[in-house]
Amino acid sequence: MDIDKGGKHMTEEDRIKEVLYKFEDGGLISKDLDSVLECLSDSIVGIGIGEQGFVTSKYDVTKVFLDGQKNENEVSHTLDFGRIEIRMLREDIAVLCADVIVTAKCHEKVTKSRFSQSLTLMKEEKDWKICCLHASAPVVTEENIEAYPLRFAEKTLKTLREKIGGEVYAVEEQYRMAVLSDTIAFYIINFSKNIYEKCQLNCEICAYVEEGSNYERFAIEYIAEYVKEEDREAYLECFLMKNINKAFQNKEQEVKLEYRMLNGQEGTYIWVVTIIRLITDIVTGEKKGIMYVKNINDSKRREIAMQERAEYDTSLKIYNKDTFIQSVEGLLNQKEGIFIMLDIDNFKDINDTFGHPFGDKVLIRIAELLKASFPETAVIGRLGGDEFGIFLQEVHSREQIKRYIRQLNDHISGFMSESGKSGKVSFSVGIAPSKGKSFPYFYKDADAALYASKHGGKNRISFYEN
């Protein structure tokens, strides 16, 4: 029975992991060739990273080891492992897959190299030996090559630099940005194979994706769990393979989208931006993407608030005049409608009698009742002072319009002030159809009808007559 240093019984999986640790440490950290060779079967075959190429014997492994040495006297390396999975195929055969992370430190500079290691091991007498190996870097970047203790893609990188100049550095910088702590999720996607190759989450609300999962299928099947309904169409249009392939063809560097991500609580969400940096692996030639999700909730909500302040009358929470006109003009290309102008009667007297704070409350109340009295499709705005505009997107009968106005009047009449004084609030209305005219022309028509109401005794409705 094997006992580890802590006095615990070692399982077969424990022994297999010990082979992994010894093999990686000997090859990358302690640079102990004997330790490496002790882990290998005499019938070893495998594929190293990049230019390391095929190995079919211990002699090949030795050559890769010796040829790959770097002169790095001032660099120290440490070894870490991410996920390790072991499958026992038989009592004497097992396969292992592991994420390997090498950290290189030179003075104050720290870089990391990440790669995946796949091993097939056979039990020879009592010891597990590696008989097949395959190592691959998910994305070959400047940092991956620099931090890795052995040479594996320097020639390829040099050739690429000569061909594309600084572009490779842009890719490397994008990779560094992707793994910074301000991201809430990070993925590596192999678009040539349509699969996820890596997933790292810094936030529970993001989707965990198993390595090897189909990229496009996952997006379609799980979008309802993570993306707000109003943004799902835009999300799929941006990130499905059709658009990704088009972006590669057009030599675009990235695709990105701002959208609302559901945060697990009913109806609540945060704003995020998902960016996929499009790259071509400089070793395999495969099309890949570095995808990262950033939380932009605070800045996006500030942006929306600023936009609303620009578009809305902030005190009344309806469109200001400029936005009202833009919205109406945008609808005129689709259909005709009815324009209503409403002006509060004797509003100056209300302010003088009850005070401006009370006058402001009257305006706020009327704005609220306008939204409650007219259909949701109506465009409502403040045209200035005590004047409001309503645009109905369909042609309504005069009786229907009168019903809307009467409903509004029933709610607003007899408005009370805080001091206990009451005052009758009424308004005059002018109405004109758009009839294929542009806004300035039917605005003039409605203004003429409003003038008729004001000078006809106020508190009445007038329709524009040709």
List pLDDT tens digits, range 354-378.
Answer: 888 888 888 988 898 898 888 888 9
pLDDT category of residue 256 using cuts at 50, 70 and 90: very high
- Alpha-carbon distance 90 to 42, whole Å? 20
More confident call, 130 vs 138: 130
- Alpha-carbon distance 126 to 420, whole Å? 97
Strands 427-433 and 461-463: parallel
For a pLDDT cut of 70, what percent of the chain falls above it? Answer: 85
On whether the CB atoms of residues 222 and 244 are closer than 8 A, the answer is no
On whether the CB atoms of residues 232 and 223 are closer than 8 A, the answer is yes
CATH 3.40.50.2300 matches 12-143: no
pLDDT at 15 over 90: yes
- Alpha-carbon distance 242 to 239, whole Å? 8
pLDDT category of residue 10 using cuts at 50, 70 and 90: confident
| CATH 3.10.450.50, the chain: domain bounds | 12-143
Structure tokens at 301: 């909500």
Lowest mean pLDDT among 133-147, 217-231, 385-399, 435-449: 133-147
- Alpha-carbon distance 369 to 359, whole Å? 15
| CATH 3.30.70.270, the chain: domain bounds | 310-463
pLDDT number for residue 174: 53
Residue 317: closest CA among 361, 356, 368: 368
pLDDT at 60 over 70: yes
More confident call, 71 vs 159: 71
Looking at this protein, which amino acid is placed at residue 11? T
Q: In angstroms, how far is the first alpha carbon of the chain from the final one? A: 105
pLDDT number for residue 417: 57
pLDDT number for residue 280: 83
Tokens 């965990």, located at residue: 208
Lowest mean pLDDT among 42-46, 143-147, 172-176, 380-384: 172-176
pLDDT tens digits, residue range 261-307? 998 767 789 999 999 988 887 667 889 998 889 888 888 888 777 67
pLDDT tens digits, residue range 137-189? 655 566 667 777 877 656 655 655 555 445 544 554 454 554 454 678 888 89
- Alpha-carbon distance 213 to 220, whole Å? 12
More confident call, 358 vs 234: 234
More confident call, 448 vs 357: 448
For residue 38, the tally of other CB atoms under 10 A from its CB is 14
Q: Considering the entire predicted model, what is its pTM?
A: 0.44
pLDDT number for residue 51: 64
pLDDT number for residue 162: 56
- In this prediction, residues 95-116 reach a mean pLDDT of 85
On whether the CB atoms of residues 276 and 254 are closer than 8 A, the answer is yes
- In this prediction, residues 12-24 reach a mean pLDDT of 95
Question: Helix H segments across 125-240?
Answer: 142-147, 154-164, 167-178, 215-226, 232-239
CATH 3.30.70.270 matches 310-463: yes
pLDDT category of residue 136 using cuts at 50, 70 and 90: confident
Strand order of the β-sheet with 183-190 is: 195-201, 183-190, 287-295, 269-280, 254-262
pLDDT number for residue 178: 47
pLDDT number for residue 315: 78
Structure tokens at 246: 């088009």
pLDDT tens digits, residue range 295-320? 888 888 887 776 777 677 777 888 88
Chain centre to alpha carbon of residue 237: 14
The superfamily CATH assigns to domain 166-295 is PAS domain (3.30.450.20)
On whether the CB atoms of residues 373 and 311 are closer than 8 A, the answer is no
pLDDT number for residue 154: 62
Structure tokens at 402: 């009168």
pLDDT category of residue 1 using cuts at 50, 70 and 90: very low
| CATH 3.30.450.20, the chain: domain bounds | 166-295
Structure tokens at 268: 């609540």
Structure tokens at 136: 């691959």
